[in-house]
Structure 1
Amino acid sequence: MYKYLCYSETLYAFLQYLLINKMDIENTLFIFSESMDKLIGENFKCNKIILKKKKGTFFQKKKIEYQNYKKLNSILSNSKEIKVYLQDHLPEAEYFLEKFNCYLLEDGTDSYNLKKINRNQKEYRRKKYKIRLLRKLLGGALRRYPKYGFSNKVIGIYMNGFFEIPNELKKKVIKLDIKKLFNSLTNEEKEKLFNIFSLKLDILNKIENKILLLTQPLSEDGVMIENEKIGLYKDVQKKFKGNFVIKSHPREQTDYQKYFPDVYILPQNFPAELFLFIDAKLSEVVTIFSTAALNLKRNYKVSFLGTKDYPKLLERFGVIEDK
């Protein structure tokens, strides 16, 4: 029987879990989507359940949903003493919230985005009394649960405190310090962590004295079209004097080498926060509003541009700025 369960869809949340539980992979059941499993790759050997993405017609989606719940129930139907860490906005998060008390992993700016949180709260209040008998028959959760830590089934929330924390959540917050957690690992555990993300230290020579640009999935999330995103980052590049390297977000599909042929493009399959743990001599870190940059402030000069000067970002996300 497993002691822990981790349901994550971002490399940053996955990294948090590995650090919080000191690399206790053997006693953990990992829940990944197909895309997340592909991103992590074959270097990570673990106990895992891969959930299929729901697509197609209504009935095809329900069939996939049933298959996902069947996988989960085959292992977890009688589990009671298991500590669950998750991101509670993910497709099957309610399954775990209905069965267990859970710990929430930080999810970048979304964990602090009051505009998005308030929108979700309104949606929850509108639908919370709708009983979903079909989902229950398929093996899922009967009830609805609010997201971003507001459910009473979320008993602890890991947060850095980069931005203002909603008052209703403050009593649940567990201070997250990934550098401190990393330093508490043994040398063997640290090496194991780097191997999971296939981080090769030979990249240090390629990024020395360069400006690290952290991009975000703005076109993939429908905030703007691809050409607008490229134009935005070209404008950012012009504002800073120096040679750039680009670390794209894992969900991005953009071929940055096509648009920035003279720039070294870092691999996607590791979280930018790993730069905290290696002796990377970056001259500066630049981003619009990636929280990875705020983690890196401990080691590097960071230019966090925020959303104020970008109308489409301001409309979608509200004001996000470094405090």
Structure 2
Amino acid sequence: MKENVFFAGTHYSLLFYWLKFGFDNTTIVLNHDIDESVKQWLSKNYDTVIYKNRFRNVYIVNLIYRFFFGVRLKLKIFLCGRSVKIFGGDHLPSFLAFRKNEYSIIEDGIANYTRNENENENFSYFEKYSRLKESLYRSRVFGRAENANQIYLSGILDVPDDIVSKVELVDVRKLWHELSHFEKKEIYRCFSVCDETLNLFEKYKIILLTQPLEELPGITELDKVGIYHDFISSYNYDDILLKTHPREMTNYRSYFPNIKVVDESFPMEVISMQNVRFDKVLTICSTAALYLNTVELVWVGDNCNDKLYDIFKGKINIENLKKQ
């Protein structure tokens, strides 16, 4: 067991932590949503623990599994004979047994910047409709617990007042440029980013960032494809490069045969480090869009579809996010 234990929920949080702290002194607890190729590469090169989120459809059994997963991990920490520092996402199911420990939060997306909607609820609308909602309803997450002593954010949006005293802003772009050529190549290898892919993003000036909208209640894959079809109907498909979200399984090539699709599982924030400037970035509400250098950000939020609006009630529109 290493000096730090990092609970990684997304590819972006992996990248953020990697740039800030590195992995040499870290045991990485990889969430079930991390792509298998990324898990395999990290497991070969660093100290990792894989969380599989078993019995997810049977809540009580899943809750017991989460708890005992954490107990086993705590036992490993105890047996290593030294104290460790805990980092990551306190909203993750693998984190359940560590919520009474002191820990630090690593940025995971827009949810880190949302305020609680009322004093009786300790979760935002992003958490409410996440697949982890059962555990989120029962604890203060994203650094709001008293024992969350530090929150590392990039500052893509204004920091909520209720956590601002805990926040340290991190210039991830600066950290990227301080890496050696070898260190950058290592990150590329982990996320399967090749030179051909990097060149694609320099060639196209309009980027569409899709998201796993079918994970939301009442939204099917066909609904999602229809939403994106309506969104881009006024654009020339030959001008668009479509980048999928790492969790998506949708075969966009079958729905949009005239659009170039990049479906490798790397976080788009890697591209934001390349000093590429786009004419337009199109998205429903992808966090990655906020990191990209673009002339125009087309962020349609939930106004583009009645089903999305029924879920979010305007709260993922960029103007409302900036007001929080």
Which residue among 20, 25, 28 is the counterpart of 1:27? 25
Distance across 2 between alignment mates of 1:105 and 1:39 = 22
Aligned residue among 93, 97, 122 for 1:91:
93
The reply on whether 1:42 has 2:40 as its aligned counterpart is yes
Check the 8 A contact 2:231/2:304 in 1, yes or no.
no
**1:103 aligned partner:** 104
Matched, 1:245 2:247: no
- Compare 306-315 and 29-38 and name the one that shifted more: 306-315
Q: Please report how far the alpha carbon of residue 290 of structure 1 lies from its aligned counterpart in structure 2 after TM superposition.
A: 0.8
Match of 1:295 in 2: 291
Task: Output aligned runs, 1:257-272, within 5 Å.
Answer: 257-272=253-268
When residues 244 and 29 of structure 1 are mapped into structure 2, their CA distance, relative to the original with a 3 A threshold, is same
Check whether the contact 2:35–2:246 (CA below 8 A) recurs between aligned residues: no
Give the structure 2 partner of residue 314 of structure 1: 309
The structural deviation recorded for 1:301 is 4.0
Q: What is the alpha-carbon root mean square deviation over aligned residues?
A: 2.7
What CA deviation, in whole Å up to 9, does each residue of 1:168-200 have, x standing for no partner?
111111113211111122222122111111110
1:280-291 mapped onto 2 (5 Å cutoff): 280=276, 282-291=278-287
Question: How has the CA–CA distance of structure 1 residues 53 and 181 changed in structure 2, closer, same or farther, with 3 Å as cutoff?
Answer: same
Deviations 1:236-261 (A, max 9, x none): 21233452111111122211111111
Give a deviation string over 1:84-116, Cα, whole Å, max 9, x none: 2211111132322323x21112222212233xx
TM-score by length of 1: 0.82
Aligned residues: 298
Structure 2 counterpart SS, 1:98? coil
Quickly say closer, same or farther: Cα 1:235–1:188, change in 2 above 3 A: same
TM-superposed deviation, 1:273: 0.7
Percent identity reads 28
Tell whether the 8 Å contact from 1:204 to 1:281 is kept in structure 2 after alignment. no
Structure 1 residues 254-289: Cα deviation after superposition (integer angstroms, max 9, x where no partner): 111111112222133200011122354644321111
Q: TM-score, normalised by structure 2?
A: 0.81
Listed as ranges, the matches of 1:1-16 within 5 Å are 1-16=1-16
- Residues 47-73 of structure 1 deviation map (CA, whole Å, 9 limit, x = unaligned): 111122131656753663465235313
Establish whether residue 224 from structure 1 lines up as the match of residue 223 from structure 2: no
Say which SS state the counterpart of residue 271 (structure 1) adopts: coil
Does structure 1 residue 236 correspond to structure 2 residue 222? no
Structure 2 residue 184 is matched with structure 1 residue 190: yes
Corresponding residue for residue 254 of structure 1: 250
1:159 to 140, 149, 153: 153
Three-state SS of the structure 2 residue aligned to 1:230 is helix
Matches within 5 A, 1:129-140: none
Q: Distance in 2 between matches of 1:86 and 1:37?
A: 17
Distance, in Å, in 1 between the alignment partners of 2:173 and 2:296 is 17
User: How many Å apart are 1:76 and its aligned residue?
Assistant: 1.6
Contact 1:307 1:321 in 2 (8 A): no
| Cα distance per residue 1:296-322 (max 9 Å; x no partner) | 13x664322233444433343324305
What are structure 2's unaligned runs of at least 5 residues? 124-137
Structure 1 runs not aligned, ≥5 long: 126-143
My pick for the range that moved more, 66-75 or 213-222, is 66-75
Residue 134 of structure 2 aligns with which residue? none
One-letter code of the match for 1:275?
I
